[in-house]
Amino acid sequence: MYRTRLGEFELNENEIITFPEGIPGFEELKKFAVISLEETNPICWLVSLEDENVALPIIDPWLVEEDYEIELSENELHALKVEDPADIVVWSVVTIPFGKPEESTVNLKAPIVINLKSGIGMQVILEKYELKHPIKCRK
């Protein structure tokens, strides 16, 4: 049983993702899980299993950028222990300014990359894309 920002969850061993380096700003936190909630779908949550104050909203980046592409370096592939690219999932962190959801942005520059098979994750930093990609509203 894990206590997180979004409540208590029972998690299987294979749902626990280890970020060996933490993520920038939270380098000391190594264990996370991706929680998907019916009420917030398609927004999911990257929650720390070590600090119940830490939960980041995340979405599928292709939802906002159809042609999004990421290229992982040899080092990153190695650190993630990637054997099959199909094991990889990619998430982008969403920033939702309090009370101003219309100003929400998606961090396409630093996607959260997770190898579901090895249970290893990292936030990689890409050369291209914006740190604050606006979520465009339909007029």
Partner 1 sequence: MLVLSRKVGESIIIGDSIEVKVLKVDGSSVKIGIVAPSNVRVYRQEIYKNVAEQNKQALTKGYEKIKDIDYLKEVLKNVDKDRR
CA distance 116 to 119: 5
Q: List all residues 6 or more positions away from 24 whose beta carbon is below 8 Å from its beta carbon.
A: 110, 123
Number of chain residues interacting with partner 1 (CB under 8 A): 47
CB closer to partner 1 out of 10 and 39: 39
Phi/psi class of residue 84: alpha, beta or left (left: φ > 0; alpha: ψ in -120 to 50)?
beta
End-to-end, the C-alpha distance of the chain in Å comes to 44
Build a one-symbol-per-residue string for 14-33: x at contacts with partner 1 by CB under 8 A, - elsewhere. ------xx-xxxx-------
45 near 52, Cβ under 8 Å?
A: no
CB closer to partner 1 out of 10 and 67: 67
Shortest distance, CB of residue 74 to partner 1, whole angstroms?
Answer: 7
For 40, the token pair is 């917030």
**Residue 10 sits in the site that holds partner 1 (CB under 8 A):** no
Q: Which stretch binds partner 1 (CB under 8 A): 8-16, 54-62, 83-91, 113-121?
A: 54-62
Q: Which stretch binds partner 1 (CB under 8 A): 9-17, 83-91, 93-101, 113-121?
A: 93-101
CB closer to partner 1 out of 13 and 74: 74
